[in-house]
Structure 1
Amino acid sequence: MIHRRKPKYIHYASDHNLTAPMEMAPHLVRLFHPKSVIDVGCGIGTFLYCFKNEGITDVLGVDGDWVDRALLAQYLTKDEFLPVDLEQPLLLDRKYDLVVCLEVAEHISPEKAEQFIASLVSLGSLILFSAAVPTQGGQNHLNEQWPAYWEEKFARFGFRLHDIIRPIFWDNPRIPTWYKQNIMLYIPESACLQENLPVNPLQNVAHYESYARRGKRLTEITSGEWPLGMYFLFLFRALLRIIRFKKPCR
């Protein structure tokens, strides 16, 4: 009998397709000229697939052993995927030119968050990072935090935040809000001085699309358009979020 691990995350085609990666990968390659890329929390490998289309052949995706191999096989070969438990230290015997970790850290339990960042910085000195902000919502989100929370954790390893990626994609309608809102660049502070990159003051801002979406939902709620059961479900989810995010960032 074959025992399969219960998925911690289901990759729905509506969210996990090539639309955003095809928009973002060419820009990132032109900016950073990487020869090798690792995607931590790669899902089914769509971003790495688009990096490969840009001529990068040295790629590795890492994610849970529960990732659907049939979906994964559309984008990565067996040698390009490493099943790991991201709640454990990720120790590899090499570094990569570009480390990608997009909308993954919120799935890591808070007590493992710093360990997770330690794994990322061990993999390379150029880290493209995004993580869900409070009340963003999603599957199995355990630690939604504002960027300042992650900035502090990266700083403990000598990495500085540069908010230079969001303006590139901010108004692109083909890219989901969570990427445009949350994506940051982290590099070692020593490299910041050598490369003379601008250090932008961090602003915990929400994208205007988030505001518009929540405004639309509020209008639906107050107009009575929802069935009665939806109001009870909305209230239940709101209470869960209040309980989960009552503690301030540290």
Structure 2
Amino acid sequence: MAYDQAKHDRSTSVSLPSAREILPYLIETFNPDSFVDVGAGYCNWAHTASELGVQDVAAVDGPWTDLSRIKIPRDRFHVHELDRPLDLGRRFDMALSLEVGEHIRTDASRTFVQSLCRASDLVIFGAATPLQGGFMHINEQWQSYWQTIFADEGYILFDLIRPKFWNNDHVIYYYRQNAFVYVKQDRSDLIGICRAEIAAAPSNPLIDAIHPAKYLEMAGYDVVLMKHLVRKLPGHVLRTAGRKLGLSR
């Protein structure tokens, strides 16, 4: 899952604004004193949590990370291959892992979820869906796939983030689409907070949504990749093709 600098920069350009929209809500709602981001890249989410007043922040990512560019102190960053079990030797009030699971080998999906559950009773999690497309996406799964694994670990899903941010254009679409709150089933305090949030929220159904069956019928990696291929075609080829087809002068 080795991102080069350019890919990290592109990721930062969307993750940092998204973090500054979503994290204020999560921190106000759950009031965590400690926070860890697993699969953190340059630590945009952990850095934002720190900006919002969380004193105890940490982050985890692989040995490919350019440590000179991370946005939190080096001693708070843990280098770890995320396909392997992770034990930080402590628990945090909130763990977050967004758009990371799709980079994990399928046979390590359960190991990855167990690592997150080992880190916190409150996990903010989302990962790329089938045919979402992206760099080294080797494990794109429906949200229900991950829900089942979390349920096996004794965690309950709460859909707090999607209804609140679905129409927020400052948040990149895949966070709006894929992010859920998972709570350990014996944490009645956290479950109570989640249920109160759902009860207090104004009705905001996800109207503009497509059924997965239709999505899979229409989508395909050939479609997903074609737009990238077209961008790489020399301009004169496109112009020549357009003239042949009578689409340009």
Q: Do the two structures share a fold, i.e. TM-score over 0.5? A: yes
The answer to whether the 8 Å contact 1:181/1:207 transfers is no
Question: Runs ≥4 in structure 1, deviation > 6 angstroms?
Answer: none
Which has the larger share of helix? 2
> In 2, Cα distance between the equivalents of 1:14 and 1:81?
21
Alignment-derived partner of residue 239 in structure 2: none
Structure 2 counterpart of 1:69, from 57, 67, 70: 67
Deviation at 1:146, TM superposition (A): 0.5
TM-score (norm 1): 0.75
SS in 1 for 2:109: helix
Where do 1:25-36 residues align within 5 Å?
25-36=23-34
Structure 2 counterpart of 1:86, from 75, 82, 105: 82
Matched, 1:46 2:40: no
> 1:206/1:44 Cα in 2 relative to 1: closer, same or farther (>3 Å)?
farther
Alignment-derived partner of residue 237 in structure 1: none
Alignment-derived partner of residue 245 in structure 1: none
Matched, 1:8 2:2: yes
Deviation at 1:194, TM superposition (A): 7.5
Alignment-derived partner of residue 201 in structure 2: none
SS in 2 for 1:122: helix
SS in 2 for 1:174: coil
Matched, 1:59 2:57: yes
Structure 2 gap ranges (5+): 199-205, 235-249
Matched, 1:103 2:99: yes
Letter in 2 for 1:142: I
> 1:77/1:207 Cα in 2 relative to 1: closer, same or farther (>3 Å)?
farther
TM-score (norm 2): 0.75
> In 2, Cα distance between the equivalents of 1:142 and 1:31?
33
Q: How big is each residue's C-alpha offset from its partner over 1:51-76, in whole Å with a ceiling of 9 and x where there is no partner? A: 0001111011000011122321xx11
Letter in 2 for 1:76: I
Matched positions, count: 207
The answer to whether the 8 Å contact 1:95/1:122 transfers is yes
> In 2, Cα distance between the equivalents of 1:45 and 1:134?
26
Letter in 2 for 1:169: F
The answer to whether the 8 Å contact 2:183/2:191 transfers is no
> In 2, Cα distance between the equivalents of 1:54 and 1:228?
41
Deviation at 1:16, TM superposition (A): 1.2
Letter in 1 for 2:137: H
Alignment-derived partner of residue 181 in structure 2: 185
Deviation at 1:122, TM superposition (A): 0.7
> 1:57/1:193 Cα in 2 relative to 1: closer, same or farther (>3 Å)?
closer
Alignment-derived partner of residue 242 in structure 1: none
> 1:12/1:124 Cα in 2 relative to 1: closer, same or farther (>3 Å)?
closer
Structure 1 gap ranges (5+): 1-6, 231-250
The answer to whether the 8 Å contact 2:98/2:179 transfers is yes
The answer to whether the 8 Å contact 1:42/1:62 transfers is yes
Structure 2 counterpart of 1:138, from 134, 137, 143: 134
> In 1, Cα distance between the equivalents of 2:232 and 2:72?
45
> In 1, Cα distance between the equivalents of 2:146 and 2:105?
14
> In 2, Cα distance between the equivalents of 1:227 and 1:95?
46
> In 2, Cα distance between the equivalents of 1:198 and 1:21?
23
Letter in 2 for 1:168: K
The answer to whether the 8 Å contact 1:9/1:140 transfers is no
> In 2, Cα distance between the equivalents of 1:205 and 1:8?
37
Deviation at 1:92, TM superposition (A): 2.0
Q: Percent identity?
A: 33
